[in-house]
Every structure is written in structure tokens, then in C-alpha cells.
Amino acid sequence: MDYKEQVEKYLEYCEFRKELDWNTLKAYRIDLKQFFQYTQDGLPEKNRIEDYITELHKKYSQKTIKRKIASIKAYYNYLEECEVIESKG
């Protein structure tokens, strides 16, 4: 399964299992799309993620940056729970 399919599966999980509201789902979709457009990778390396966060700081307010990072963290937590990726903790 490619990352686009995985993101769609995650958003479906958020909608139906976590029962997140429409605005939250919209924000998650936008945040994850921007992340993957920047990284150009399904599971980017740490340094590429760090570069993305640096770019966020150049463009957005602190509140927006925190939300975008939280969206990405929630997605990665979902991938760990589904055992798509291994936990590094």
C-alpha cells in the first residue's frame, strides 16, 4: 500500500472510529498532503522531516506549526498502532 492509500485509510479511521469533526479532518488532510508534497517520500528520513519543520517556521505562526506537527505525529502514531512501522521508543 502506498502512502496516499495509507493516509486515506488513516483519515477514514479518524472520521469513523475517532469521530473527529469535519474541520479537524480537513486540517489533517491538508497538513499531511503538504508534508508529503515537501518530503516526496512515503516514510521520509529524520533529516528530511527536520527540513520540513524548518520550512514551516519560515511560513506559519507558532500555533499553525504546532497543529501541523501534531497532525503528522498523530499519523505516525496510527502507523505504529497498525504495525505499519516499528516503534523507536
Question: The domain that contains 11 carries what CATH number?
Answer: 1.10.150
Residue 88 belongs to a domain: no
Q: Is the pTM of this model over 0.85?
A: yes
> What does pLDDT average to over the chain?
92
Cβ burial, residue 72 (10 Å; 0-12/13-18/19+):
buried
Residue 16 belongs to a domain: yes
Domain that holds residue 35: 3-81
Residue 22 belongs to a domain: yes
Confidence at residue 1, expressed as pLDDT on a 0 to 100 scale: 67
Residue 89 belongs to a domain: no
Per residue in 59-81, pLDDT (tens digit) is 999 999 999 999 999 999 999 99
Share of the chain above pLDDT 90, in %: 78
Alpha helices in 2-61 (DSSP H): 3-16, 22-39, 46-59
What is the mean pLDDT of the segment spanning 19-45?
93
Domain count, the chain: 1
